[in-house]
Structure 1
Amino acid sequence: MGGGRLSILKVSIEQVKAARALLKWSQNDLAEKSGVSIPTIKRLEASTGPIGGRSETADAIREALEAAGVEFIPENGGGAGVRLKKDKA
């Protein structure tokens, strides 16, 4: 039936900023890790709400943050958020 995710997690700009803060990443760090240009990161982070623009851009940002250990918490009655994954050690 398709190739991949059961549901596409919608990530907000606020979650991206919070995730960067948890990782102590600058906008430049996020641009480097995601392959998204710095001007695009700056433009996106100047807004609020869901990540705008192309879905490929939002996916690249989300995937880079997840690969670094961020978990996105969906809106589930308590508000959307982020956290760092627990070490398995």
Structure 2
Amino acid sequence: MALYGPFCALSMIGGQQIRMARAALRWSIEDLSQHAGIGSRTIKRLEATDEITSANMTTILKIKSCFEYAGIEFIGSPNDRPGIRIGQRLGESDPS
């Protein structure tokens, strides 16, 4: 745990945020599984709780990075006003 330090706390997302992000993108569990390279059973397990899970940090980072690439910004934390903000997909230019 000490290996990650503050980075670990900043990188955590909970099941509620994963469900919100999937809904915002209209992705099924299978869609997220394919985009993130994570098994659908793992995603179901992570979504089943709103608490910080004991998942492998690499798994959480893969899911988080996949959503961020698709334009989702995570706000709050799993234990303090968790949410998402829908933004621009990475690599897309601002039309203004």
For residues 11-63 of structure 1, give each alpha carbon's deviation from its aligned partner in whole angstroms, at most 9, with x where no partner exists. 11101100100000000011000000011111111222124310000000000
Where does structure 1 differ by over 3 angstroms across 4 or more consecutive aligned residues? Answer: none
Asked if the contact 2:21–2:84 (Cα under 8 Å) also holds between the matched residues in 1, the reply is yes
| Alignment match, 1:29 | 31
Provide the C-alpha distance between the structure 2 equivalents of 1:18 and 1:84, rounded to a whole number of angstroms. 10
Provide the C-alpha distance between the structure 2 equivalents of 1:51 and 1:67, rounded to a whole number of angstroms. 22
Asked if the contact 2:14–2:52 (Cα under 8 Å) also holds between the matched residues in 1, the reply is yes
Asked if the contact 1:27–1:38 (Cα under 8 Å) also holds between the matched residues in 2, the reply is yes
C-alpha root-mean-square deviation of aligned residues, in Å?
1.9
Which one has the bigger strand percentage? 2
Q: Which runs of 5+ in 1 are unaligned?
A: 1-5
Question: TM-score, normalised to structure 2's length?
Answer: 0.75
Q: Across the two proteins, how many residue pairs are aligned to each other?
A: 82
The one-letter code of the counterpart of 2:42 is T
The one-letter code of the counterpart of 1:81 is G
Residue 46 to residue 80, structure 1, CA distance change in 2 (3 Å)? closer
- Structure 1 residue matching 2:30: 3-state secondary structure: helix
Question: TM-score, normalised to structure 1's length?
Answer: 0.80
The one-letter code of the counterpart of 1:88 is D
